[in-house]
Each structure stands twice: as C-alpha cells, then as structure tokens.
C-alpha cells in the first residue's frame, strides 16, 4: 500500500465532521497503461463514487468494504474480531451496524 500523502488527513476530517465510526476510503491505480489496468481502475471508480454513495443514500448507512478505512478506536474496542471467518472486517462492521453502535460512511 502506498496511500496518498493527504488521505489520512482527509479521512480524519470527514470522520470528525460527520461524526462517523468508520469512514471508507477509495482505491485507484496509479499506472493505467494497459487496457486491463484501465478497466480495473474504472471498476474501482464506479464502486467507490457511484455504487457506495447510491447505497448510502438509499439505506442511510455506509458499507465497509474491507480496506482503505479509518475506524474510531473506541468502536473497535466494543466487540472482538472473529478469527473463524475469512472476511472478519466486513463481518465486524455488519455486527456494529446491527447493534446500532456506530455510523459508517
């Protein structure tokens, strides 16, 4: 991972402004010379800037997709991660939302 220099600052600012428990970042490819790289980059763009915002608008909640997120440490301490599931980070966010213990954007 090589995050942009200001990505942590942007996530923190957004989290504080919107009082979020978790803020989902985005992903993009820096090298898009090949057709495959361009297709993957386009898919990331549509997912993070079309699908997730539409889902957030329709459901009034966010979705933590398993990477590129900033979590409030107090929320992380409220429940244990499970080591018996492959996508424990996504499962963790679902349990947090079901308990109405946080806000994900």
| Residues 68 and 25: beta-carbon distance below 8 Å | yes
CA gap 92, 79 in Å, rounded = 8
pLDDT for the residue numbered 104: 77
66: confidence class by pLDDT, cuts 50, 70, 90: low
pLDDT for the residue numbered 1: 65
Q: Which residues pair with 78 in a beta bridge?
A: none
pLDDT over 80 at 89, yes or no: no
pLDDT digits (tens, 9 = 90+) for 33-55: 899 999 999 998 998 889 888 98
Q: Higher model confidence: residue 96 or residue 64?
A: 96
**Matching residue, tokens 């995050």:** 3
CA gap 38, 34 in Å, rounded = 6
Distance of CA 32 to the CA centre of its chain: 23
Q: Could you tell me the pTM of the whole model?
A: 0.68
Tokens representing residue 7 in the block = 């990505």
pLDDT over 80 at 58, yes or no: yes
pLDDT for the residue numbered 6: 87
Q: What is the mean pLDDT of the chain?
A: 83
């Amino acid at each position: 991972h090589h995050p942009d220099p200001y990505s942590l600052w942007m996530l923190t600012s957004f989290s504080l402004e919107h009082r979020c428990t978790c803020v989902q970042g985005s992903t993009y490819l820096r090298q898009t010379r090949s057709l495959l790289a361009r297709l993957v980059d386009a898919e990331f763009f549509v997912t993070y800037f079309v699908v997730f915002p539409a889902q957030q608008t329709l459901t009034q909640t966010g979705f933590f997709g398993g990477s590129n997120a900033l979590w409030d440490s107090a929320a992380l301490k409220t429940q244990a991660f499970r080591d018996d599931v492959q996508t424990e980070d996504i499962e963790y966010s679902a349990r947090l939302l079901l308990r109405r213990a946080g806000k994900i954007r």
